[in-house]
Chains A and B, each alone.
Chain A
Amino acid sequence: MTQAEIKLCSLLLQEHFGEIVEKIGVHLIRTGSQPLRVIAHDTGTSLDQVKKALCVLIQHNLVIYQVHKRGVVEYEAQCSRVLHMLRYPRYIYTAKTLYSDTGELIVEELLLNGKMTMSAVVKKVADRLTETMEDGKTMDYAEVSNTFVRLADTHFVQRCPFVPATENSDPGPPPPAPTLVINEKDMYLVPKLSLIGKGKRRRSSDEDATGEPKAKRPKHIADNKEPIPDDGIYWQANLDRFHQHFRDQGIVSAVANRMDQIFRSLPVGYNISKQVLDQYLTLLADDPLEFVGKSGDSGGGMYVINLHKALGSLATATLESVVQERFGSRCARIFRLVLQKKHLEQKQVEDFAMIPAKEAKDMLYKMLSENFISLQEIPKTPDHAPSRTFYLYTVNILSAARMLLHRCYKSIANLIERRQFETKENKRLLEKSQRVEAIIASMQATGAEEAQLQEIEEMITAPERQQLETLKRNVNKLDASEIQVDETIFLLESYIESTMKRQ
């Protein structure tokens, strides 16, 4: 784990779970597997705080535990899983596009709570959907269940490993920690539940048939006394499946862009006949992007999508784009040239790119210093004398991708820090505006006059309003940038992972 990744994990944990969880989490990421007491001792936190933090981290699948010999339980953090927290909005949005609002809320609940039973999810989502519906309408559990089953069938949600039912009664003391198991075929098995019911609104008095005393906090609603039919069967979001989807999306959109270019040079017809389709596929196969390859001729030939090449192309396109935006289009031209020709001498670069020598050198060195391009030495003589050695410029896509990924982690960490800084600077003003909004809301609820509302609104002066506007704009920009950088991170990570798998 690089420093940049650890820093980013720290920021994410702190934002989502608070400082205590952050301290424990980062410590585990740095040191690897450790038992409870060592964690408490090394971080200087009280045992109780460590326990609380570990419960939260385990619940959210960020830390796993293992029982070692002599009954010692060790905890290990999953750094990459922490980094995936950046992508939560994207997972939820994908669920929305595929399975509409119900799917969106199911995935959101699972992500917010780490793991839940199906019945709990269905109930919660039904309640939330009911809140947004018109008065008198409610969301049926059955509908939510159906969407849940569809999500399970398409593997977007999966079962968590569970405690195996032990038939033999262990004569000794129970183990310090259960060993959780799951096998492939059980992972998407939906329990046979007959969940009957409808969502409940929280506020409306007519639904409150249970007559709970208002003084009790919501988390002690009497429902937890009912037996849960699928007790012990927990579900979590299957992030890998989402990643697969993103990857496919990326490739499809890249091909679509390509198709557009091809399309324009061909006669456009709305009914694509088999022959034309064949032509398209051949074109794609011959296309230098090498997304589609033809394997064999049986049955007219099978077209396969070369995933690794596709990812490589996407990664390369990203690198090109970064060079273009950072150094200008002439630099980008040189970069593409070196990419294409694999190895080029200084002189050759100047000739092929048709850029004057001095400028070409300048650009090459700039890119070299930032590690987009590297130098390959090819000695002519065994003594490696510099005057008798070829120096060739080349692009090593894997190492350039790694470098760029590292920069992305740093970028996001900077973005988050800046956003937190901006928010902290204006903390007083933000709190004031929240208070005013709360007052206005409560006054509106009790039917106040326009004049009174006006008065309250004026509590925030015009320059303060301006400040708030600026703050909001900046925070939005920073947030949007984070989302954007995360897309790049995903692309680069996928490419690097795919490359490493092949080695």
Chain B
Amino acid sequence: MASRGGGRGRGRGQLTFNMEAVGIGKGDALPPPTLQPSPLFPPLEFRPVPLPSGEEGEYVLALKQELRGAMRQLPYFIRPAVPKRDVERYSDKYQMSGPMDNAIDWNPDWRRLPRELKIRVRKLQKERTTILLPKRPPKTTEDKEETIQKLETLEKKEEEVTSEEDEEKEEEEEKEEEEEEEYDEEEHEEETDYIMSYFDNGEDFGGDSDDNMDEAIY
């Protein structure tokens, strides 16, 4: 616009108010312009007040730290899936990491929760029983399900994250055979033939005792 360039020279530096009222006298040096963001740790002008010490302060502090540690150990702390390591190691089979089949470690009261939140247990356990306890007659399952499960067993590695579609398909197929969520630790182990709790990787000093009498005796 024509007036813009022309207006620059006229009345430059005129303000709408009296500058002296603000406190900047004529000829005063103005503070330097700010060219960069303020420093991350500006120097403190005054020392901060000391933190409360004494019995109460110490106790609450200790309590806080204990709580933090305790909550990490509770089953409510959900750890993300361990990323698959580059090479599959033999010891992977023997390390328990997290609950099987996406089930949760604790038992909420399902009567209080929406039904959709309940995670269906995989039907893998049916197959497993045939391996561990050969005395029992092999359960008859539909052929389609067996093949699907066998394929999935072969693919399955450490943790969970089964695809959503698979779960849904399985759920639909198993609608008639809805089971309660059983969590029998002995049988839900990884794809090994051994009871996980028998595995002692030497960290415990003194070791466990093999008291488990549930196992079938040959």
Contacts and interface: CB of A to CB of B under 8 A. Distances in A.
Interface string A38-81: 00100000111101111110111000010100000100000000
B153 interface: no
B210 interface: yes
Interface stretch (A15-23, A185-193, A278-286, A302-310): A15-23
B164 interface: yes
13 contacts: A18-B77, A48-B162, A51-B116, A51-B117, A54-B117, A58-B108, A108-B67, A178-B112, A214-B211, A234-B109, A327-B46, A346-B23, A481-B51
A229 to B, nearest CB: 15
B80 interface: yes
A213 interface: yes
Nearest to B79: A18
Interface in A172-220: 174, 176-178, 180, 213-217, 219-220
Contacts of B84: none
Given A215-B211, A481-B51, 18 more contacts: A46-B161, A59-B76, A93-B63, A162-B112, A163-B112, A176-B116, A177-B116, A178-B113, A180-B112, A213-B214, A215-B195, A215-B209, A220-B185, A346-B23, A386-B16, A387-B17, A387-B18, A480-B51
Nearest to A211: B211
A213 B212 contact: yes
Given A73-B116, A112-B74, A176-B116, A480 B23 contact: no
B7 to A, nearest CB: 21
Contacts of A131: none
Contact of A328 (B46, B56, B163): B46
Contacts of A224: 107
A47 B164 contact: yes
Interface stretch (A84-92, A243-251, A252-260, A396-404): A84-92
A20 B78 contact: yes
Contact of B111 (A21, A36, A163, A327): A163
B77 A17 contact: yes
B21 A346 contact: yes
Contacts of A21: 76, 78
A467 to B, nearest CB: 19
A325 interface: yes
A15 B213 contact: no
A325 B111 contact: no
Interface of B: 16-18, 21-23, 45-46, 48-49, 51-52, 56-57, 59-61, 63-65, 67-68, 70-71, 74-80, 102, 104-109, 111-119, 160-164, 167, 185, 195, 197-198, 205-206, 208-214
A124 interface: no
Nearest to B76: A56
A219 B79 CA distance: 18
A319 to B, nearest CB: 15
A340 interface: no
Contacts of A232: 109, 111
Contact of B164 (A46, A216, A346, A358): A46
Nearest to A328: B46
A58 B113 contact: yes
B128 to A, nearest CB: 18
Contact of A215 (B114, B118, B208): B208
Contacts of B46: 325-328
A476 B77 contact: no
Nearest to B118: A51
A162 B111 CA distance: 9
Most B CB contacts (10 A, CB to CB) among A174, A219, A482 go to A219
A47 B161 CA distance: 9
B177 to A, nearest CB: 18
**Interface-central residue, B52, B117, B162, B185, by most chain A CB under 10 Å:** B117
B144 to A, nearest CB: 23
A220 B76 CA distance: 16
B164 A217 contact: no
Contact of A387 (B16, B105, B185, B195): B16
A1 interface: no
Interface string A97-127: 0000000000010001110000000000000
Contacts of A174: 115
A19 B80 contact: yes
B115 A480 contact: no
A39 B136 CA distance: 43
A325 B23 CA distance: 25
